[in-house]
């Protein structure tokens, strides 16, 4: 695990549930799907989420880190869906999947 991820895990454990992080990711997810990753800047994500820009940069040092976290969450959601299908278990779609 790289140093950035270790630091982020430490912050998450201190900050509790990561509500701010989740709010930023949910807002980014909605905007990325609606308008595209290139069309959306961090200022727009901050404005729409109502989270301070310093909080965004605390959780995601760059837009690339935010995009990487977004993609990791999407991947987790997709694999959990496939696992549910494989085992014949209904899978509750996460908020990242409810936009469709």
**Cβ neighbours of residue 73 under 8 Å, at least 6 residues apart?**
25, 29, 94, 96
Q: Let me know: does 60 contact 66? Beta carbons within 8 Å.
A: yes
Residue 40: CATH number of its domain: 1.10.357.10
pTM of the predicted structure, to 2 decimals? 0.67
Given a cut of 60, is residue 56 above it in pLDDT?
yes
* The pLDDT value given to residue 60: 97
> If you average pLDDT over every residue of the chain, what do you get?
81
Does residue 56 belong to any structural domain of this protein? yes
The pLDDT confidence band at residue 99, using thresholds 50, 70 and 90, is very low
Question: Which residue in the block uniquely carries the two structure tokens 């469709």?
Answer: 100
In a domain, 97, yes or no: no
Q: What pLDDT band is residue 5 in, cutting at 50, 70 and 90?
A: low
| 90: Cβ contacts below 8 Å, ≥ 6 apart | 84
Asked if the structure places residue 47 within a domain, the reply is yes
Does 43 fall in a domain?
yes
List the domain range (segments joined by +) for residue 72.
3-87
Structure tokens at 63: 């837009």
pLDDT digits (tens, 9 = 90+) for 14-39: 454 469 999 999 999 999 999 999 99
Residue 96 lies inside a defined structural domain of this protein: no
Question: Residue 16 gets which letter from DSSP?
Answer: S
Tally of structural domains, the chain: 1
Interval 45-60 mean pLDDT: 96
């Amino acid at each position: 695990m790289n140093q950035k991820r270790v630091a982020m895990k430490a912050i998450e454990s201190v900050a509790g549930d990561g509500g701010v992080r989740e709010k930023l990711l949910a807002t980014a997810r909605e905007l990325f799907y609606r308008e595209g990753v290139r069309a959306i800047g961090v200022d727009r994500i901050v404005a729409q989420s109502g989270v301070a820009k310093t909080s965004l940069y605390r959780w995601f040092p760059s837009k690339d880190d935010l995009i990487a976290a977004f993609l990791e969450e999407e991947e987790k959601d997709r694999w959990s869906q496939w696992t549910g299908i494989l085992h014949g278990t209904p899978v509750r779609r996460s908020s990242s999947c409810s936009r469709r």
